[in-house]
Amino acid sequence: MNHTKIVKEEMKKRTNNKGYLFALQFSVVYFMIGAFGILLWDYLVAHLFNNAITSYKEWFFLAFTSIIIFYIAWRFIYWDRTYITVLLKNRQKLQLFARVFEQLQEGLVITDENQRITNVNKAFEEITGFTEKDVLGKPLSSIKTGVEKKENFQQIWNTVNKEGSWSGEFINQKKNGRLYPEKLSLTKISNCHGNKTNFIGVFSDITEERNAKGKIDFLTYHDPITHLPRRALFLMITGKMLNSTYI
């Protein structure tokens, strides 16, 4: 859904009855000011010139212009004021989203419908080593690792296009050439017509998580002081051997 459609829908919510009430109040104030002017003029003419004038043309003109003022107030003044209010509200939301975008600890990359990078956050630069200038306008595939097979990435994109999202882990490569395990989530963004407009990728370097898991596994099967195997390791290996023998 594009920005213009969001603004229009928000304006419709705000202009159901409030717009007519605003226009009515605006036109009533106009009518009262006009009526006061007509009565004051008649009073001055009657007392200063001793000539009482009773004319309905002014009142007809005032009533007619009040109807026009009602339409102008509803169609233009209230709608323009509402439009500006909605724009300011959406601007505040965009500023909030921009701050969240920059403060995320996970790397975040946004592409267009052709998978060309349009935005990245600071965490992206810190994790991959690539700056925004390095990758802006380039295909997302240009920063993928050469370790994974091309068919695997094609399968990932097929899943994203078909199901709308994909998440998993694979080995990626930093700008300096160092390999690292990466946890990635890809999501397809579509507009109100169902056409894809963007892709959003959120990823993190899970090297420390993998190292922590490796330490836990080691301490599970080895003594923390002597580093000698525990009984649990013997039972696990024995179980695997028995299973392979039966198979």
Q: What is the DSSP string of 200-242?
A: EEEEEE-HHHHHHHHHHHHHHHB-TTT-PBPHHHHHHHHHHHH
Give the C-alpha separation, 72 to 100, whole Å.
Answer: 41
- The structure tokens 């003109």 sit at 61
Report the candidate in 124, 97, 114, 116 with the shortest Cα–Cα distance to residue 184: 124
Interacting residues of 77 by C-beta distance below 8 A, sequence separation 6+: 22, 23, 26
Number of helical (H) and strand (E) elements in the chain, helices listed first: 9, 5
Q: How far apart are the first and last CA of the chain?
A: 56
| CB contact at 8 A, 107 and 123 | yes
pLDDT of residue 14: 54
pLDDT of residue 233: 59
The kind and range of the H/E element at 179 are strand 179-190
Give the C-alpha separation, 205 to 200, whole Å.
Answer: 17
pLDDT band at 199 (very low <50, low <70, confident <90, very high): very high
**85 compared with 130, residue with greater pLDDT:** 130
pLDDT of residue 186: 92
Average pLDDT rounded to a whole number, residues 182-207: 87
Q: Which residues of 149-188 are buried (b: 16+ CB within 10 A; e: fewer)?
A: eeeeeeebbebbeeeeebeeebebbbeeeeeebbbbebeb
Torsion (CA) 173, 188, 155, 214 in degrees, nearest 10: 50
pLDDT band at 88 (very low <50, low <70, confident <90, very high): confident
pLDDT of residue 190: 86
Average pLDDT rounded to a whole number, residues 28-42: 87
Give the phi and the psi of residue 197 in degrees, each rounded to 5.
Answer: -120, -30
pTM of the prediction?
Answer: 0.55
| CB contact at 8 A, 196 and 188 | yes
Out of 30-39, 43-52, 69-78, least confident range: 43-52
**1 compared with 196, residue with greater pLDDT:** 196
| CB contact at 8 A, 206 and 185 | no
1: pLDDT strictly greater than 50: no
